[in-house]
Amino acid sequence: MSAQLISGKEVAASVLSELKPRIETLKKRGVVPGLAAVLVGDDPASATYVNSKVKACKKLELHSEVVKKPQTLSQEELIEIVTSLNRNQQIHGILVQSPLPKQIDELAVTLTILPEKDVDGFHPHNVGLMMIGRPCLLPCTPHGIIKLLEYYQIDPAGREVVIVGRSNIVGKPLAAMLMQKARMADATVTVAHSRSRNLTEITRRADILIAAVGRPRMITADMVKSGAVVIDVGVNRVEDSSAKKGYRLVGDVDFDNCLEKASYISPVPGGVGPMTIAMLMSNTVTAAENISESLP
């Protein structure tokens, strides 16, 4: 029996639909939520991500700006750009697209963004609030994963969740969110990674297995407990001469074989990816609401 597919496109559409009345309420008060994306260099994947964010803003009739700068941009120049966006009253959310050139300290840039405009949820102020379970702008991909579980009524409470991957963008924040004493949380969380010993034994314990390690098809069927929920965060390019572009996208999960083992599974593409954009839009609207309410 094949697993039920978890459609990120369907859930993202639901999230965006719920934002529309909030956006209309803001507009009646003279506030149009605004998002600024800063793109440094000419990385094709980064450009694609930024274009997706611009399209999402346009669809929701949000204000959006893209600041494109060459690979040679200095850290001081980038910080000046961010500082200017901090002062810009039309901008409620700021994101600086990663990866950045080697001459730029990403943490220094992140620290420059006002926490109330940190729609990526990467500023230590927001990370700290997330850790103690207080309201804040949450990282988009982890929050999107929780929204997927919520939509499909997969409650993690009391379940064993294994996250394979310990990045600051997905693995660590997702673990913190799922272990909170809160709705759509209360899970028993294990964070594993590529260097974990006996990884297969660890993953086979999981009621909910989340792969976010960045290695094509690393999670094979023998690593999945029968009936487990499998969420694939990975997006990897693999060569494929039969594909028009010469490559295709695959996840961290061996999808075809795990499809017969899991109860639910998210595909790549079309799973977690659309949720990241949807939650960025959600954070932008939330930031606009918070900032406008704080004004005299």
pLDDT in tens, 89-129: 999 999 999 999 999 999 999 999 999 999 999 999 999 99
Q: Which of 118, 120, 232, 254 is catalytic?
A: 120
Do 164 and 199 touch, CB atoms closer than 8 A? yes
pLDDT tens track for 177-218: 999 999 999 999 999 998 999 999 999 999 999 999 999 999
Say if 283 falls within a structural domain: no
Q: Give phi and psi for 38, each to the nearest 5.
A: -110, 125
Catalytic annotation present for 186: no
Kindly report each contact of residues 201-207 with a partner whose C-beta sits within 8 Å and lies 24 or more positions away, as own/partner.
202/162, 203/162, 203/164, 205/160, 205/162, 206/160, 206/161, 206/162, 207/159, 207/160, 207/161
Q: Residue 61: which pLDDT band, with cuts at 50, 70 and 90? A: very high
Contacts of 150 (CB under 8 A, 6+ apart): 184
In a domain, 256, yes or no: yes
Residues paired with residue 164 on neighbouring β-strands, in sequence order? 192, 211
Active-site position among 53, 117, 172, 261 = 53
87: domain CATH number is 3.40.50.10860
* Residues 175 and 211 grouped into a single domain: yes
Specify whether 204 is located in the same domain as 163: yes
Q: What is the DSSP letter of 263?
A: S
Is residue 102 domain-shared with residue 176, that is, in the same domain?
A: no
CA–CA distance, 57 with 288 (Å, rounded to integer): 13
Q: What pLDDT is recorded for position 1?
A: 62
User: Catalytic pick from 97, 117, 252, 261?
Assistant: 97
Number of domains in the chain: 2
Residues 161 and 237 in one domain: yes
| Inter-axis angle of helices 44-60 and 8-28, nearest 10 | 50
pTM of the model: 0.95
Residue 248, in any domain of the structure: yes
Residue 120 bears catalytic tag:
yes
193 and 256 together in one domain: yes
Q: For residue 173, name the pLDDT band (cuts at 50, 70, 90).
A: very high
Q: Is the residue at 121 inside a domain?
A: no
Domain that holds residue 90: 31-114
Q: Are the C-beta atoms of residues 283 and 17 closer than 8 Å to each other?
A: no
Angle between helices 124-131 and 171-178 in degrees, nearest 10: 30
Asked about 97 being catalytic, the answer comes back as: yes
CA distance 74 to 186: 44
Domain assignment of residue 74, yes or no: yes
Contact between 64 and 53 under an 8 Å Cβ cutoff? The reply is yes
**Together in a domain, 182 and 232:** yes
Mark whether 104 and 176 lie in a shared domain: no
Determine how many CB atoms are found less than 10 A away from the CB of residue 49. Answer: 20
Contact by Cβ (8 Å): 271, 212: no
Side chain identity, residue 58: K
pLDDT band at 48 (very low <50, low <70, confident <90, very high): confident
Shared domain for 145 and 242, answered yes or no, is yes
What percent of the chain lies above the pLDDT cut of 70?
A: 99
